[in-house]
Amino acid sequence: MSANKIYIAGHTGMVGSSILEAFQQRGYADIITKSSSELDLRRQADVETFIHQVKPDMIILAAARVGGIWANNEYPYEFLFDNLAIQHNVINAAHQNNVERLIFLGSSCIYPKHADQPLKEQYLLTGSLEPTNQWYAIAKIAGLKLCEALKREYGRNYIALMPTNLYGRRDNFDLETSHVVPAMIRKFHEAKEEGHQPVKLWGSGMPMREFLYVNDLADAVLYAVENKLEESMYNIGTGIDLSINDLAQLIQDIVGHQGEIQWDESKPDGTPRKLLDVSKIHSAGWNHSTELKRGLQKTYSWFLQNESNFKEVKIKV
């Protein structure tokens, strides 16, 4: 194992909890976690004190303010400020305290809205962003550039992984702040329970999207920890996409909903297509292992088991 003491920031979220579970299953024992109520990563002095005291050998930065199109568009300040504050506080504290390694998790939304497909790492900053998620994207671009700058200027082994759209166990199923997969699962399930009522979905159903099961991202993080990656940034995905309409029909079939799907084209579609070029991480030796239908089945099973207490994330309470 290539790291002794590991701090996982954001361990209660869908991504962080999956990473924590993967590392524990691998046998990593010295793992540090702090909930947001114990440590607010937006508070610089608190973060600096914490990192100085615990002195981790590695930090995995999975903490972030996340949400779907509506949440990004409705709360631009929170998505920009919170993410800037979280990542810059943690990355700077890591640098100041000589933390040897850091893995920063970004997002595929960092790429220009109309970039060529599939999206290569070098397409970053070659065009304008999708307006509905620009706030989140700008923050994530700043974070990955901070890691790149530290690697270039100080030789820090800080790597940024850019995952595609994620889904899986412990996702956020709040219909206002969730991403497309958990929102669809909940809508189809509730419509089925109400006698197979019609389900109204945002947009035209035409945009193309790629989806990665969250356990596969956790596996990619493990791979990055246990293997030497030369570049400062890697796309993490499946390299396979489908239309939102096809996704809806697939989830509808898994849930068993037999009603009508109604598309609300007055709502935004977002980026027309967002498919990652994953050839760089493939060349480094990592591939995903969970196909979409199987991952969706696992996610719906988890939803059914946790229907009484699934997670709903509110931006403002």
pLDDT, tens digit (0-9, with 9 covering 90-100), for 245-256: 999 999 999 999
Q: Considering the domain boundaries, does residue 132 fall inside one?
A: yes
DSSP codes of every residue in 64-96: -----HHHHHH-HHHHHHHHHHHHHHHHHHHHH
Q: What is the arithmetic mean of pLDDT over 13-30?
A: 96
Number of domains in the chain: 1
Assess if residue 311 is contained within a domain.
no
**Share of residues in the chain with pLDDT > 70 (%):** 97
Question: According to the model, what pLDDT value does residue 263 have?
Answer: 97
Contact indicator for 298, 237 with CB cutoff of 8 Å: no
pTM value?
Answer: 0.93
Please say whether the beta carbons of 168 and 176 come within 8 A: no
Q: Is residue 120 part of a domain?
A: yes
CATH at residue 249? 3.40.50.720
Residue 283 lies in a domain: yes
To the nearest 10 degrees (0 to 180), the angle between helices 292-305 and 244-255 is: 50
- Cα end-to-end distance, the chain, whole Å: 42
> Which residue from 124, 118, 126, 164 is spatially nearest to 147, judged by alpha carbons?
124
Span 33-74, pLDDT tens digits: 999 999 999 999 999 999 999 999 999 999 999 877 777 788
Read off φ and ψ for residue 241, nearest 5 degrees. -130, 170
- Residue range of the domain that includes 154: 6-305
Contact 238, 283 (CB under 8 A): no
Nearest-angstrom CA–CA distance, 194 and 190: 6
Asked whether residue 312 is assigned to any structural domain, the reply reads no
pLDDT band at 91 (very low <50, low <70, confident <90, very high): very high
Determine, yes or no, domain membership for 310.
no
Averaged confidence pLDDT in the chain: 94
Whether the CB-CB separation of 2 and 8 falls below 8 Å is answered with: no
Catalytic residue selected from 28, 111, 136, 213: 136
Annotated active-site residue 234? The verdict is: no
Strand partners, 263: 201
* Residue range 207-240, pLDDT digits in tens: 999 999 999 999 999 999 999 999 999 999 999 9
**Whether 127 contacts 71, CB under 8 Å:** no
pLDDT at 317 > cutoff 50: no
Residue 237 vs residues 26, 171, 226, 286: alpha-carbon distances, Å: 22, 18, 19, 10
**Nearest partner of 231 among 140, 121, 88, judged by Cα:** 121
In a domain? residue 178: yes
Mean predicted confidence (pLDDT) in 115-133: 95
Average pLDDT of span 263-286: 94
The answer to whether residue 272 scores a pLDDT higher than 90 is no
pLDDT at 1 over 60: no
pLDDT reported for residue 20: 98
Domain contains 133: yes
Taking residue 285's Cβ as centre, other Cβ atoms within 10 Å add up to: 9
